[in-house]
């Protein structure tokens, strides 16, 4: 397989753990220089130290995707350090699972702000740079939750399907110089359940992870595949989940 990733500059949100961490490490092993964005300084620095110790190159940016200025700072840091940005991976996400009639409005707002607006802010920061370069790639980490709708995941799935919709619209609007890819993971071994406020849902998701979850490395491999395609090839959507997941 040709390595078209070597030398690319890749910015990743939510890069301190889970899928984001796996993506950063996998891309660095392919020769990409990675800009790691996230809210938890100690986790980001641990990932950066691991990459740099193994001969890769990683820098960190403390940022929160809920804030438009922070998304801009992530992109600006990449440009200032490396002179360009080749790929933006919108990975940061949160799940607050509950029945809609439980009216967890704070949870709804968190998911809308991070899962949807956070992606839009990232795209808004990267698109002008990609336009000027006449090249760029947006990779959105979505979810199988938006493909199969089930109780307690209604608002979470809605935010993920909103990302699918805006990505498809952007794909049709683009002249092909900016590629966009959606990666939809199923049950993956991450710390996602630890952020769920509802104790019953937290327990259920943790149990599902214990029984079914695949490694974040599997998702990272899908990202590598999409980015590694020739410039005139766009991978639109990849669904990747445990073989036993319904």
Catalytic residues: 156
Show Cβ contacts of residue 95 under 8 Å, excluding neighbours closer than 6 positions: 111, 145, 153, 156, 192, 195, 196, 205
CB-based contact 140:180 (threshold 8 Å): yes
SS (H, E, C) 74-100: HHHHHHHHHCCCCEEEECCCCCCCCCH
Three-state DSSP at 189 gives: coil
Radius of gyration of the chain (CA): 17
The label of the residue with tokens 């020769």 reads 31
Phi, psi of 197, rounded to the nearest 5 degrees: -75, -35
């Amino acid at each position: 397989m040709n390595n078209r990733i070597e030398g690319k500059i890749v910015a990743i949100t939510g890069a301190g753990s889970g899928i984001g961490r796996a993506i950063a490490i996998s891309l660095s092993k392919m020769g990409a220089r990675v800009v790691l964005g996230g809210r938890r300084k100690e986790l980001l620095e641990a990932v950066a130290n691991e990459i740099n110790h193994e001969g890769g190159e990683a820098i960190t940016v403390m940022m929160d995707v809920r804030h438009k200025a922070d998304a801009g700072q992530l992109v600006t840091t990449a440009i200032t350090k490396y002179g360009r940005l080749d790929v933006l991976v919108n990975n940061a996400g949160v799940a607050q699972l509950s029945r809609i009639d439980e009216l967890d409005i704070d949870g709804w707002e968190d998911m809308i702000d991070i899962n949807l607006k956070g992606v839009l802010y990232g795209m808004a920061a990267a698109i002008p740079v990609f336009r000027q370069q006449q090249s760029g790639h947006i990779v959105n980490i979505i979810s199988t939750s938006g493909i199969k709708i089930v109780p307690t995941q209604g608002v979470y799935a809605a935010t993920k399907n909103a990302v699918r919709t805006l990505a498809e619209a952007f794909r049709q609007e683009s002249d092909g110089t900016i590629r966009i890819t959606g990666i939809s993971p199923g049950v993956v071994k991450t710390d996602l359940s630890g952020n769920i406020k509802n104790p019953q849902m937290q327990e259920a998701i943790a149990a599902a992870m214990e029984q079914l979850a695949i490694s974040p490395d599997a998702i990272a491999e899908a990202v590598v595949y999409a980015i590694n395609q020739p410039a005139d090839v766009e991978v639109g959507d990849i669904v990747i989940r445990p073989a036993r997941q319904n």
